[in-house]
Amino acid sequence: MRFVSFSHHDRQGFGLLRGDRIVDLTGKLSPDVVTLKQAIAAGLLAQAGTWQESLDDIPVEQVRLLPVVPDPGKILCIGLNYEDHRAETARPTSGFPTVFTRFAESQVGHRQALHKPAISDRFDYEAELAIVIRAAGYQVREEHALDLVAGYACYNDGSVRDWQRHTSQFTPGKNFPATGGFGPALVTPDEVGDYRQLPIQLRLNGQVMQDAKLSDLIFPIEKLIAYCSTFTPLAPGDVIVTGTPGGVGDRRQPPVYLRDGDWIEVDIGVVGCLVNPVITPKAGAGT
């Protein structure tokens, strides 16, 4: 199944994506369940598969798709998790994942514009697979880690490289408004199968810039969940963004940074294809 969060006629909700229509589940699985995060926490996603299409279904083109989970409690991002990316950054190898955080306000949904900050000319792309946590977990063992996965989605961890490098901490360069794309949909594990078989590719204006497989992860998803759940309890709706392959614009010769009018596609096979244009908002517009 595929679930989306959306805004329609100034109302936010969530639903089951079937082809080009959304079965609106807002308040229908339970009267007090009006967000995808709440549905995950209540264990109600499985019931959605039995929901029948109706005249209330909404065509996708009539909604604004939001980040898959608009209100996660935590977004934990993993850096340097593909060997070719670690090598191109000249970072040393490590026995532990590199972890930094994003804020929910920095995200946009499928086909929504990523905002190149006017303060920087070094806005970069990063194709990644995101996982969404299904149930609470603390100090989870690797062999049980995938039981905590509600589903998968595409992610573009847009990075403002000069701000990322102000110090050894990544956070400033990863949290400008509207710099992270998250979508189009949450795809349940039964549709994905073995995540290691997934391809991951980023295209900039149609040109392939990153191309890898999820089997290339240095720290696989099981290890990431186990590691992150050791230092912080995971909760339903939390997001772990698993890292980007080599080929980022900042490490190309000459560098390739994002500009107004660019189009970015993050394609992860059955998980979907996240598409975002790039704009530079006018001064005073929040960036």
Q: What is the pLDDT of residue 87?
A: 83
Report the alpha-carbon distance of residue 49 to residue 31 in Å, rounded.
Answer: 18
Confidence of residue 287 (pLDDT cuts 50, 70, 90): very low
Q: What is the pLDDT of residue 52?
A: 65
- Which CATH code fits 75-279? 3.90.850.10
Q: What is the pLDDT of residue 55?
A: 54
For residue 147, the one-letter residue type is: D
For the stretch 28-77, pLDDT in tens is 999 999 999 999 999 999 988 777 666 578 999 999 999 999 999 999 99
Confidence of residue 116 (pLDDT cuts 50, 70, 90): very high
Q: Mean pLDDT of all residues in the chain?
A: 94
Angstrom CA distances, 220 to 77, 83, 132, 242, stand at: 13, 12, 15, 8
Instruction: Tell me the pairing of strands 127-133 and 239-241.
Output: antiparallel
| Helix extents (H) in 23-140 | 36-41, 45-48, 83-89
Confidence of residue 283 (pLDDT cuts 50, 70, 90): low
Q: What is the mean pLDDT of residues 14-19?
A: 94
Task: Detail the DSSP E strand segments found in the chain.
Answer: 2-8, 11-18, 21-24, 58-59, 64-65, 75-79, 98-102, 107-108, 114-115, 123-124, 127-133, 149-157, 159-160, 180-187, 199-204, 207-213, 239-241, 263-267, 273-279
Q: What is the pLDDT of residue 51?
A: 75
User: Within 13 Å of residue 261, how many CA atoms lie on the same side as its CB?
Assistant: 0
Greater model confidence, 93 or 234:
234
Q: What is the pLDDT of residue 218?
A: 96
Q: What is the pLDDT of residue 285?
A: 53
Peptide bond into 184 cis (omega under 30): yes
Check whether 93 has a pLDDT greater than 90: no
Q: What is the pLDDT of residue 37?
A: 98
Check whether 94 has a pLDDT greater than 60: yes
Could you give the dihedral angle defined by the CA atoms of residues 81, 87, 93 and 95, in that order, rounded to the nearest 10 degrees? 20
Q: What is the mean pLDDT of residues 217-245?
A: 98
Q: Tokens 């670690």 sit at which residue?
A: 86
Q: What is the mean pLDDT of residues 80-84?
A: 88
The length of the chain, given as a count of residues: 287
List all residues 6 or more positions away from 191 whose beta carbon is below 8 Å from its beta carbon. Answer: 1, 2, 270
Report the alpha-carbon distance of residue 79 to residue 159 in Å, rounded.
Answer: 12
Confidence of residue 88 (pLDDT cuts 50, 70, 90): confident
Instruction: Tell me the pairing of strands 239-241 and 75-79.
Output: parallel
Listed residue (194, 203, 204, 77) closest to 129, CA to CA: 77
Per-domain residue ranges for the chain?
Answer: 2-65, 75-279
Instruction: Tell me the pairing of strands 107-108 and 180-187.
Output: parallel
Report the alpha-carbon distance of residue 156 to residue 197 in Å, rounded.
Answer: 20
